[in-house]
Structure 1
Amino acid sequence: MAADADLVLLNPEPPTWQLHWVQDCAVFDASAGGDTDGDALRAAKALLARRRVAAVVTYEETMVVTAARLARGLGLPGVPVAAAELARDKHRQRTLLADTGISPTRSHLVHDLDEARRAARDIGYPLIVKPRGLSGSAGVRRVDEESEFDAAFDAALHADKMGLESEGILVEEFLEGFEFDVDCLVHDGTATPVSWARKIWAYDPYPVEAGFITGHGTLGRAEMTEGFDLACRSVLAAGIDRTVAHVEVKMTPAGPRIIELNARPGGDIASRIVELARGVRLGSLLTAAALGRAPEIASSGDRSAGIRFLYPRTRQRFDGLAEAPTLRARPWIHEIGELRPRGETVTPPPQDLYGRVGYVMATGPHADEVEDRLLLAHHELRVLGS
């Protein structure tokens, strides 16, 4: 982003690494129960007294609604508030997409166990239980039979909200098929697919995204035509604008269906993997969307890249990743990193949904080859400790 615009940063905590990339910054109070929007607006106005600002944008899930309200309060371009709020509310998403016929999925919003059981009987098994407004698959589980339902509902009800608002639980039909991500650049009533990824799943029946792959060979023709078209129509129907919107799509036997809409780009280091595979910089595209500029999308089409996250097998002390010298010397290994301090106690999903301790990035000429290389790396890079 800093390569394409002068940035000023409004942050909920004192900035550290960001200081190298921004022209100015201010801190606001985002503590639970505080006047987050009011404090952000006051801090932003102090920034605007020192710097000219042309638009407001965020790539952080927890800041989507705050950024939209801030843009409205300052009279600047940004994601419309109604669209930002809808992007944080899976029930409203389902209602909009079903009412417009864009992506009908059977879904019930419930608030207690008796109501949830009735919804489950109406939908039938297998089904999905998920919190209304969380992210990163927090509290989400596929339930295959009635005996598993109560525990799944309780887990969704008590999932860590991580500062997000989430009132109620969704009980939904389970959609069979192949799920993928697509990021759409949205501005002035147009939506353009700019990035897409094949997901790597782990810890079934919990939908933990343990990695993803993008670039050449990632998706088939149906995903890149019908799926992309549905993603673009959905973000426009939701009123999302002036951002890169991250959309989760599943190709089912009945055609593509929307799993989730987000009013910010994909996370999990997605921007680095996309640039590594296709030469496309999501930060530049996010800047273009925020400023209302026509995007410049020049993509290379003969390369693929992916990332796989590494988890401990059980609760343990983390002593690093295996040396695996032969693997680390491979030319297609782009990067291996550790995400937790050595000596710390770590726990795998589903007990700790964010229990990643490391990652590996790999490249190759085709997505299938990258997937095989990531599988090999996942086997070789054992998590050490006891």
Structure 2
Amino acid sequence: MSGTTETGRRETLLIIGSGYRIGHERLLAQMATEADLVLLNPEPVTWQTRWVRDAEVFDPGDESEALRLAKGLATRHRVAAVATHEEPLVVTAARLAHGLGLPGVPVAAAELARDKHRQRRLLTGTGISPTRSLLVHRADEARRAARKIGFPLMVKPRSLSGSAGVRRVDDPADLDAAFDTAVHVDKQGMTSDGILIEEFLHGYEFDVDCLVVDGTAIPVSWARKIWAYDPYPIEAGFVVGNGALGREIMTEGFDLACRSVVAAGMDRTVAHVEVKMTPNGPRIIELNARPGGDIASRVVELGRGVRLGALLAAAALGRRPEPESFADRAAGIRFLYPRTTQRFAGLAEAGELRARPWVHEIRELRPHGTTVTPPPEDLWGRVGYVMATGTHADEVADRLLLAHHELRVLGPAVG
């Protein structure tokens, strides 16, 4: 049921940033079922006009101008709350909500979500899944920290997401190169001051999204990850729905995730949490103050019937809906990368595969003729994806593996 006031008027939500069309249009559409939307966006609106009543273009680097534009939208449309699903704009959205005197993610919680070092300190201080972690800024500091932590270990930027600049290091000889990669990784417009040297946690990593409103958090979506490019933890896809996770993970892991977002002070959002189930129990890898990205809203709706955008809008407006979900369905996505640097000429025809009823969508993400490079050289080097469905997560994972094999990236090698 969409959000309305006591007089029957639909509530209005100010969205900061729309994301990109392929990944986020479905999320925006889901949000529009719960409230009227107005948008403050870094780029001029095009496809977004179908889902929003009004929009302004702003410079994320000019907070005073952003606040002026936000006040204009809030005044014209009687905005009730502020939300974002874009990682680089989490802090901006929180500060704008505070400046407008409207509900939103608290500023301190948003800043914590963008700072893994402070996350570690908070969780250690509250007794939640402490992870040995040291903040460094120079290569010699990294070497000293590595001697304290011990190998294998993880090197990661302090304030990025999506495994950007992250690498497992098994040997001291590889430490300097890993540190240099973390320092110079493409930050996609975000800032990161310092590098974390952390203990490597053995175990099974998964995602869970928690709906958090007024100090109460509940799990609403979860995913099994698909990894590639070891020792770089590149998340090459994920599977959701029936059988995605085991019962132990869904009790201990979910409880830890929800307790952690509450401890971090997050509110009025769907918080995306990365957790690893280790031999010593679950441990937090990362807290985020927005829902899962990478087309997650489409895959979650397809595999579980849960609409993350609608839940995000409801949370921002202070409501706690009970999400309904499918019990006998699963879905997943596998991102497609080139095997070498090449001039992209599309994906293999794979006619028999494309005719399979369980193939939900195959899409190319780069124009033909573009030079593309696989990770780790280009962490953002996706050229396409395939979505698949099934009745169980294991079945979907097998189907994605087959599709990944069949959908070769075409084009001549470069260099």
Residue equivalent to 1:143: 169
The alpha-carbon deviation at position 49 of structure 1 amounts to 3.0
- State the partner residue of 1:203: 229
Residues 314-329 of structure 1 correspond to what in structure 2 (within 5 A)? 314-329=340-355
- Give the distance between the partners of 1:282 and 1:185, measured in 2 at CA: 9
Out of 331, 348, 360, the residue aligned to residue 357 of structure 2 is 331
- 1:7 is aligned to 37
Alignment of 1:355 onto 2:381: yes
* Alpha-carbon distance, 1:279 to partner: 0.8
Alignment match of 2:186 (pick from 160, 173, 183)? 160
How far apart are residue 278 of structure 1 and its match?
1.1
Q: Does 1:25 align with 2:51?
A: no
Residues 186-231 of structure 1: CA distance to partner in whole angstroms, max 9, x if unpaired? 0011001000000000000000000000000000011100000000
Structure 2 CA distance for aligned equivalents of residues 290 and 275 of structure 1 = 20
**1:185-334 map, 5 Å:** 185-334=211-360
Question: 1-side partners of 2:89 and 2:195: how far apart?
Answer: 22
Deviation at 1:181, TM superposition (A): 0.1
User: How far does the alpha carbon of each residue in 1:55-97 deviate from its partner, in whole angstroms, 9 at most, with x for none?
Assistant: 0000000010000000000000000000000000000000111
- Unaligned 5+ segments in structure 1 are none
TM-score with structure 2 setting the length: 0.91
Q: Does 1:169 align with 2:195?
A: yes
The answer to whether the aligner puts 1:382 opposite 2:412 as a matched pair is: no
Q: Which residue of 2 aligns with 1:59?
A: 85
- Amino acid in the other structure paired with 1:20: R
Q: Secondary structure at the match of 2:76?
A: coil
- Match of 1:95, as an amino acid? R
1:346 aligns with 2:376: no
Q: How many Å apart are 1:103 and its aligned residue?
A: 1.1
Give the equivalent residue in structure 1 for 2:129. Answer: 103
Deviation at 1:152, TM superposition (A): 0.4
Aligned to 1:40: 66
**How far off is 1:17 after superposition?**
1.1
Q: Structure 1 residue 147: deviation in Å?
A: 0.7
User: 1:96-135 counterparts in 2 under 5 A?
Assistant: 96-135=122-161
Question: Structure 1 vs Structure 2: percent identity of aligned residues?
Answer: 79
State the Cα deviation string for residues 343-373 of structure 1 (Å, max 9, x = none): 1110100000010000000000110010000
CA drift of 1:272 comes to 0.6
Q: TM-score, normalised by structure 1?
A: 0.98
Structure 1 residue 158: Cα displacement: 1.2
5+ residue gaps, structure 2:
1-30
Helix, strand or coil at the partner of 1:49: helix
How many residues matched? 382
C-alpha distance after superposition, 1:244-288 (max 9, x if no partner): 000000000000000000000000010111110111111110011
AA at the equivalent of 2:347: L
- Counterpart Cα distance in 1 of 2:237 and 2:283: 21
State the distance in 1 between where 2:75 and 2:150 align.
57
Distance 1:347 1:39 in 2: 38
Q: In structure 2, give the amino acid aligned to 1:369.
A: E
SS at match of 2:265: coil
Following the alignment from structure 2 to structure 1, what is the Cα–Cα distance between the partners of residues 208 and 46? 31
Instruction: Return the letter of the residue paired with 1:4.
Output: E
CA distance in 2, matches of 1:116, 1:280: 43
Structure 1 residue 294: deviation in Å? 2.2
Question: Runs (4+) of structure 1 moved beyond 6 Å?
Answer: none
SS of residue in 1 equivalent to 2:145: helix
**What is the root-mean-square deviation of aligned Cα atoms in Å?**
0.7
Output the CA distance in 2 between the equivalents of 1:272 and 1:161. Answer: 25
